[in-house]
Amino acid sequence: MSQDKIFTADKRLYGKLNLKGRSRAMRHEPTKAEETRWQAVRGGQLGTKFRRQHSIDRYIIDFVSLSSKLIVEVDGEIHNQPDQQDYDTGRSALLQELGYRILRFSNNQVLHEPDQVIATIKSAL
């Protein structure tokens, strides 16, 4: 697998799935938890650059440090539903096959335990 494929969206699906437009829309309308997390990781504050709402393969990732191959997901209540959990499991498996490590936090954790969340991210880096 080429390096280009690992770090970007699947070129065959990029336009078909409107990944650029969807990513842009998600960046412009983040949840409160996503905005809170972005403010804590942006600009290299943790010693690495993070991107938000970045496309990898056919998925849009909440936050990713490409150099550390670390993905940080902020999950709302919908991720507790069985169908969404199955989808997330398959998504995580593919991203892990590409060499990424994945950290998942609930909105509640991000909003009410910010120091613990940041400590976990720093530890993973």
Q: How much is the pLDDT for 121? A: 96
| Paired tokens of 38 | 């972005």
- CB burial of residue 73 (10 Å; 0-12, 13-18, 19+): buried
Q: Whole-angstrom Cα distance, residue 100 to residue 63?
A: 12
Q: Can you tell me which residue has the tokens 């010693």?
A: 47
CB 99 within 8 A of CB 6: yes
What are the start-end ranges of the E strands in 1-125?
Answer: 51-56, 59-65, 70-75, 101-106
Domain carrying residue 69: 3-124
Q: Has residue 10 got a pLDDT over 70? A: no
Per-residue pLDDT tens over the stretch 40-78: 998 889 999 999 999 898 888 999 999 999 999 998 766
Predicted confidence band of residue 113 (pLDDT cuts 50, 70, 90): very high
What is the mean predicted confidence (pLDDT) over 1-26? 64
Query: pTM of the entire structure?
Result: 0.80
Predicted confidence band of residue 120 (pLDDT cuts 50, 70, 90): very high
What CATH number should be reported for the domain holding residue 120?
Answer: 3.40.960.10
Please give the tally of structural domains in the chain.
1
Q: How much is the pLDDT for 58? A: 84
Strand, helix or coil for residue 57: strand
